[in-house]
Amino acid sequence: MLKLYNSLAREKQAFVPIEPGRVRMYVCGMTVYDYCHLGHARVLVVFDMITRWLKASGFEVTYVRNVTDIDDKIIKRANENGEPYTALTQRFIDAMHADGAALGVQAPDHEPRATEYVGKMLDMIRALIERGLAYPAPNGDVYYAVGKFATYGQLSGKSLDDLRAGERVEVDPYKRDPLDFVLWKAAKPGEPAWPSPWGDGRPGWHIECSAMGSDLLGRHFDIHGGGQDLQFPHHENEIAQSEGAHGCKFVNYWLHNGFVRVDDEKMSKSLGNFFTIREVLAKYDPEVVRFFILRAHYRSPLNYSDQHLDDAKAALTRLYTALRGIAAPAVAIDWHEPYAASFKAAMDDDFGTPEALAVLFDLAAELNKGGEPKQAGLLKALAGVLGLLERAPEAFLQGGGEEGDYSAERIEVLIQERLAARKAKDFSRSDAIRDELKAAGIVLEDGPQGTLWRRE
């Protein structure tokens, strides 16, 4: 039985889908005005892992991850670059897809873009006004009247009074309550705009997810996810909009992943302490990055540093090393088999990937003691559920690092030369060859089946 931590209830709960056997999940994706950083990588990988586990558990999953392709920062960046905002967003959507694919992230079933849903958003805003939950202001903006939504604050555990006490934003004079948020933003001259009953403008940020979620998954669906920083105000406002406009429960389970940190501080655009996925992939194998992310529990903070990536690489190397030289058969997982059962128990407990990975290491140790090929198949199958160990071991072990002056062919030639030297008991020559390769980051390992090599 899958249990997951529901931010709305602030506790782990048994997962019961609305429709038996089916899961409908929405995750807030990226605002596309720059390259994705590691924090974005975490959202991509974590919810990919969650989707894979739901599917492995037998659910049919509909996974929606949106793209915010219109907002202030996009307009600003496009103006700075002197290009149409659509050119900017398309470029970074393409980059995001490339980064995600590198990290082994499967494409969501739907990837709606905000600009495609302006009509649906206007419908919702209209409904909110009719229900007395929103009001147009004289400046052409439309605001949500937070005080009219009785349960506002349910997700973030904040009361309106507390929020007012902590208010530190300049108050918009057109808002009836400083905490009211914008649904529709009047366009300034020259800005991208769509026609509306309240004048030309563009949607506020929060309304897009309400509109896209209900359109693709229905007004009431199972899981809504995103980074912890979206819990308030974004997700709180989504609830107010969706439940306000539709008059029914919006989402049953809210999932929030923890931050990636640098020097114990949140990695973020505003702090400027971020590393893009591409920067990291220039130094580390994408699977190492994926492993690094899954090695921590999805709700825990994850500190980024080269040392931690090096650790992840060493750990992943151990798994691939265990599989080396074994013809692993394709195995259909029997979830009653002891290792598989432990793995499942870990994953069913709020997606406990650290413990699930520990099971893989136990299996690898078993394999190293002379286990059967079937166990190698099981190791690959279980790891595959997490999107790991899907390559041939040699491809991982020999693929890392820079090729430099040593191609695989050149290394083979040197190995043969060393072999001949060893046969002739010319150990100084054979050691010289190994030292030469070692200096280039290539390790030789003599075994019963001959000499194997890998890049460090």
Binding string to RNA for residues 180 to 199, with x set by CB under 7 A, is what? -x------------------
CB of 136 to RNA, least distance (A): 20
CB of 90 to RNA, least distance (A): 17
CB of 302 to RNA, least distance (A): 6
Alpha helices in 82-165 (DSSP H): 85-102, 118-130, 160-165
- CB count within 10 Å of CB 364 equals 22
Question: Which run of H or of E encompasses 349?
Answer: none
CB of 175 to RNA, least distance (A): 12
DSSP string of 116-131, one letter each residue: GGHHHHHHHHHHHHHT
- Distance CA(47)–CA(42), nearest Å, equals 8
Q: Taking CB under 7 A as the criterion, which residues in 199-218 touch RNA? A: 205
CB of 108 to RNA, least distance (A): 14
Q: Taking CB under 7 A as the criterion, which residues in 362-401 touch RNA? A: 362, 364-365, 368-369
Q: Taking CB under 7 A as the criterion, which residues in 110-149 touch RNA? A: none
CB of 395 to RNA, least distance (A): 17
Both tokens assigned to 175: 């808002």
Q: Which is nearer to RNA, 190 or 447 (CB)?
A: 447
Residues in the chain: 456
Q: Does 230 bind RNA (CB under 7 A)?
A: yes
Both tokens assigned to 43: 């959202």
- Distance CA(28)–CA(111), nearest Å, equals 10
Q: Which is nearer to RNA, 18 or 326 (CB)?
A: 326
Contact 26, 223 (CB under 8 A): yes
Q: Which is nearer to RNA, 86 or 303 (CB)?
A: 303
| Contact residue for RNA among 149, 259, 351, 396 (CB under 7 A) | 259
CB of 20 to RNA, least distance (A): 27
CA distances from 216 to 63, 105, 204, 220, 395 (A): 10, 21, 20, 11, 39
Q: Taking CB under 7 A as the criterion, which residues in 423-452 touch RNA? A: 427, 430-431, 434, 443-447
Q: Taking CB under 7 A as the criterion, which residues in 322-351 touch RNA? A: 322, 349
Q: Which is nearer to RNA, 61 or 322 (CB)?
A: 322
CB of 295 to RNA, least distance (A): 6
Burial status of residue 263 (CB atoms within 10 A of its CB: 0-12, 13-18, 19 or more): exposed
Q: Does 234 bind RNA (CB under 7 A)?
A: yes
CB of 148 to RNA, least distance (A): 18
CA 168, 169, 172, 177 torsion-angle sign: negative
CA 396, 285, 386, 347 torsion-angle sign: positive
Which of the ranges 40-48, 80-88, 98-106, 327-335 carries the binding residues for RNA, by CB under 7 A? 40-48
Q: Does 165 bind RNA (CB under 7 A)?
A: yes
Size of the site for RNA (CB under 7 A): 84
Counting Cα atoms < 13 Å in the Cβ hemisphere of 266 gives: 11
Q: Which is nearer to RNA, 248 or 420 (CB)?
A: 420
- CB count within 10 Å of CB 360 equals 24
- Distance CA(382)–CA(45), nearest Å, equals 17
Binding string to RNA for residues 269 to 308, with x set by CB under 7 A, is what? xx------------------------xxx--xxxx---xx
Which of the ranges 27-35, 49-57, 59-67, 215-223 carries the binding residues for RNA, by CB under 7 A? 27-35
- Distance CA(408)–CA(399), nearest Å, equals 10
Both tokens assigned to 454: 């890998």
Residues in CB range of 47: below 8 A, 6 or more apart: 25, 27, 63, 65, 225, 255, 257
Both tokens assigned to 76: 């600003």
Q: Does 242 bind RNA (CB under 7 A)?
A: no
- Give residue for tokens 């996925």: 277
| Contact residue for RNA among 17, 29, 244, 393 (CB under 7 A) | 29
- Distance CA(195)–CA(121), nearest Å, equals 12
Which of the ranges 16-24, 56-64, 361-369, 386-394 carries the binding residues for RNA, by CB under 7 A? 361-369
Q: Which is nearer to RNA, 8 or 17 (CB)?
A: 8
Q: Taking CB under 7 A as the criterion, which residues in 60-79 touch RNA? A: 68, 71, 73
